[in-house]
Amino acid sequence: MSKAIMVQGTTSDAGKSTLVAGLCRILARQKVNVAPFKPQNMALNSAVTDDGGEIGRAQALQAIAANQSLRIDFNPILLKPSSDKTAQVIVQGKALTTLEAKDFWGKKGLQYKAKAMEAVLDSYERLQQEFDAIIIEGAGSPAEINLREGDIANMGFAEAADCPVIIIADIDKGGVFAHLVGTLELLSKSEQARVKGFVINRFRGEISLLQSGLNWLEQRTGKPVLGILPYLNDLHLDAEDAIPLNSITKTQTKLKVVVLVYPRISNHTDFEPLRLHPDVEFQYVRLTDDPADYPTDVIIFPGTKNVIEDLQALKASKWNDAIQKHLRYGGKVIGICGGYQMLGESISDPHEIETQKGEVDGLGYLPIDTQLQPEKHLKNVKGQLLVGDKTVEVTGYEIHCGASSYTQNCQPAVKLNDADNTQLDGVISNDGQILGTYLHGLFDQPQALATILKWAGFSSNIEFNIEKIREQQLNRIADTIEKYCDMKKINQVMST
């Protein structure tokens, strides 16, 4: 039986995902066969697994940290909000149905939660049989009183799996001692006993100034502080869900890129290579932002969990006219997945997968019609990018509910090499200004990124490799945890 530890947080964004990734990397460097695990995740950033399912992007990153290929058991329940009241429920990699939030979280949802717990424990048991260690991530806070009944994400799982827990809190938010003590107080006696210690995250300043508070916390709770992690400036890792709206300071950038942030934007991690590229001035812009404040060379339409609703929001914004003007002046446009669908002639939803609005007109920039379908398309793919004067190899993944068909002859953007046949994907407009594709991860390969930048009007001498940056950042986190946490005690906790 494998050893395990669960990281829960006092709040969302306390640092759970980062701590789990760091612990996975530490153990992987020690040649331990380690796996990440998150019973339930709610996020719009996801990844396609090697076994043909879908998991949260944070668990994909943690799998990379653990040197493991992606699998559905790392995140057996994934909730993808499609509106303020509905979410697509994905169980062990496959989308089941859309449930009203009140039905899922309320009394009517308890039977479903029991079934979800069965799937969670089934996945966990498989991992226990194969791995030497499992690092588990909770969701949000274990002290959400309204979500306690039937909980499968935090203490409900920890009790069922009988695993020890450490709680992490973000001191940068303020009130860290209240967060930790308050969270502990709201747990049951058995859950309190399961908590083996605390980690304080994002500390700035002189540690001696915090010592009296640490002494009080340990005396008040009887739990040890296992580590004080410093605030890490310029830490760049795939976000679980939050959009990094802050700009990165760069000098002498040569290409301006904006990504439209509509209400249900998804998989915005696609654009990390652009956001971090030293020659690219990159910004996320909300639909309520004034286009006049964001002169740009490239406008990107990202993926979306509700393509028709987000398309309607875009049409109602100033960006609708701004895009037409942008193209008239020779600007470039890129559409990925749902953004690609928006650029077409029509989108229909006859099965009411995402909305009850039936069929709507697209923006009409690309010769495709799209119909949303009940079966989600999930696939890791590879092929050639057909942009510019030469083809380059590209890999990525597809994750969408729609099927698009060409309405006239056009130039495809990608040629995919399937095991059985060759498939064409996407469109490059006749004037060469618009590129649309279903392919996520398009910018991750250095050659493909350089080719798209050249298509956009800029040739860079830098071979920018996001995978190398990701590895550097994972090792940086692991080094920090080893330096500032008591790894001997953490290992002892895992062995209990």
Choice among 337, 400, 401, 485 that is catalytic: 337
Q: Do residues 105 and 15 make contact, with C-beta atoms less than 8 angstroms apart?
A: no
Cβ-based neighbours of 408, under 8 Å, separated by 6 or more: 367
Structure tokens at 276: 């971090």
Quickly list DSSP for 304-346. ESSHHHHHHHHHTSTHHHHHHHHHHTT-EEEEETHHHHHTSSE
Choice among 24, 401, 440, 485 that is catalytic: 440
Instruction: Determine the Cα–Cα distance for residues 68 and 34; give it in Å rounded to an integer.
Output: 8
> Which sign, positive or negative, has the C-alpha torsion 189, 194, 197, 200?
negative
Quickly list DSSP for 26-48. HHHHTT--EEEE-SEEE-S-EEE
Structure tokens at 378: 């999930």
Q: Could you give the residue ranges of the DSSP H alpha helices within 344-465?
A: 446-455
Instruction: Determine the Cα–Cα distance for residues 338 and 335; give it in Å rounded to an integer.
Output: 7
* 485 classed as catalytic: no
* 410 classed as catalytic: no
Structural element, H or E, at residue 400: strand 392-406
Instruction: Determine the Cα–Cα distance for residues 56 and 112; give it in Å rounded to an integer.
Output: 20
Q: Do residues 65 and 28 make contact, with C-beta atoms less than 8 angstroms apart?
A: yes
Gap between the terminal Cα atoms of the chain: 12
Cβ-based neighbours of 178, under 8 Å, separated by 6 or more: none
Instruction: Determine the Cα–Cα distance for residues 496 and 493; give it in Å rounded to an integer.
Output: 5
Instruction: Indicate which residues carry an active-site annotation.
Output: 337, 440
